[in-house]
Each structure stands twice: as C-alpha cells, then as structure tokens.
Amino acid sequence: MKFDPATRRPQVEGVKRRISDVDKRALEGAIRLKGEHGGEVIALSMGGTKTKTAMLGALAMGADAVYIVKDDLVGIDTLATSKVLAAAVGKIGGFDLILCGEMTLDGLSAQVGPRLAELLGLPQVTYAKHLELEGGRLRAERDLENVDEVVEVELPAVVSVVREINEPRIPSLMNILKAKRKPTVEWDAADIGLSANEIKSSVEVLKVEAPLVERKHILIEAETVEEAAEKLAEAIVAEGVLGG
C-alpha cells in the first residue's frame, strides 16, 4: 500500500486485488475437510472485475465453484456486507458449513462472520485454530490468547478461523490452468433480492489518511559502540522520552 505524500491518502488505483491471507486459511480448511469427508467447496465474495480475477486463486487452490456479487458495493460497512453475503448464501442454499477468516486485514473489525451467523440464524464459532467433523457435529479448538477452548456445535454453522489453523497450499500450474474452466457465477444485488436501501452503509467513513510522521534526523557520531550508546541515551533523555 502506498500513500500520496501530499494528501496522505492511500493510492488504490491500479492496486491488484487478492484474497486475504486469513480467508485463504478458511478456504484451505474447507478443502481439507472436503478431502476427509467429501462434499463441495464453494467460494463466495463480492466485488467487480478485479475480484473475479482474484477469485481464480480460490479455484486454483481447490474450490469447485465461485459466486461473486457484483454491484456498486465498494466501501460499504460490515453490516451491509453481511447482508449481501447472507442473501447470497440463502440463494446458493444447501450448505453444511460456512468458513471465513477471523477478520479482513484492511478493516480488522472481525464483525462479518458473527453478523453473518446472526442474519442466517446459525450457531457460530470464532477464532478456531483446529476443526474436526464427526457425526454431523463440528468440534473446534478456539484460540483465546491466554487459553484454548474446545467447543462442539451442530451443523450447519458459521466458523471464523485464525492464521494458526493451517498453511494455505500453493496451487500447481495444472490447477491454475484448470481454474478458468471451473464455474464462476456473477450476481448483482437485485439477483439476490436486495434493494439499494437494504445495502446502504450505517457507518460513514469521512476519510482515511496515513499518520503524519515528522523526524528530526538526529545523527549520532562516535568512535566506539560505548560512546555511541552513551550519546544515544543522552539524546533520548534530552528529548524527554525517558527521565534523566
């Protein structure tokens, strides 16, 4: 990500879209569960032409099909995003498990997964770092920073995963070539039964700017490491960072 030095605004023109690293781990988790238990892996996203290109990566990794909701949806908040995804999930239907990353790496809100579960009326598990399926139930190990928690939930359910759950596979050249032949379905908001008012953001972002950083460029010159360390300590004290 680059910023305009004059306005401090992010320069997003021409920036390639890609699948979030955490979402890749959710996709990898789905592919591994399919390998163990069978079924079908469907990747769902929202966006435009660049999103379609990025989602080829999901097909190359092993997803069987991709669904994309394309409309004027850039910059909508987590509530509107969850409504769009919930409507698309309802239209796709026939699912047993919804996996998503714990958060997007741009907004870091960690709200879409829980909101999606609430809108669909499904049980949810967050911060999962290990998953097992047995007898129509899901057992998940949750990473709660200072403690791990093991929970079980009936399917269907919504689960958000953390980075530690796995390491996403790197698609082979053969799978990359096959990806373009797999089905990609594109809908707009009307196709999934939503009006413009229903996907209107509740939160308005006024501006996004990089923090203003001003350095004093103080250069410390010394003959020895000891002398440099002493001068550095004196400079830090003089700037008021540490007490004398």
Nearest to 184 by CA among 94, 101, 70: 70
Q: Which ranges of the chain does DSSP label H, i.e. alpha helix?
A: 21-37, 49-61, 78-92, 112-120, 173-179, 225-238
pLDDT value at residue 228: 92
The residue type at 238? A
- In this structure, the strands spanning 137-143 and 148-154 are antiparallel
pLDDT for residue 73: 65
Q: What is the pLDDT along the chain (244 residues), one digit of tens a residue?
A: 788 888 888 887 777 888 999 999 999 999 999 999 999 999 999 887 788 889 999 999 999 999 999 876 666 888 889 999 999 999 999 999 999 999 877 777 889 999 999 999 999 999 999 999 988 899 999 998 889 999 999 999 999 999 999 999 999 999 999 999 999 999 998 999 988 788 888 888 888 888 877 777 888 999 999 999 999 988 888 888 776 5
The class of domain 2-199 in CATH terms is alpha beta
Give me the residues paired with residue 148 across strands: 143
Nearest to 29 by CA among 118, 117, 97: 97
- Length of the chain equals 244
Give the model's pLDDT for residue 210: 84
pLDDT for residue 72: 66
Question: Where along the chain do its domains lie?
Answer: 2-199, 216-244
- pLDDT, residue 207, reads 83
Burial of 170: CB neighbours in 10 Å, binned 0-12, 13-18, 19+: exposed
Predicted pLDDT of residue 130: 96
pLDDT of 121 reads 96
pLDDT for 50 = 83
User: Model-level pTM?
Assistant: 0.81
- Output the pLDDT for position 24: 96
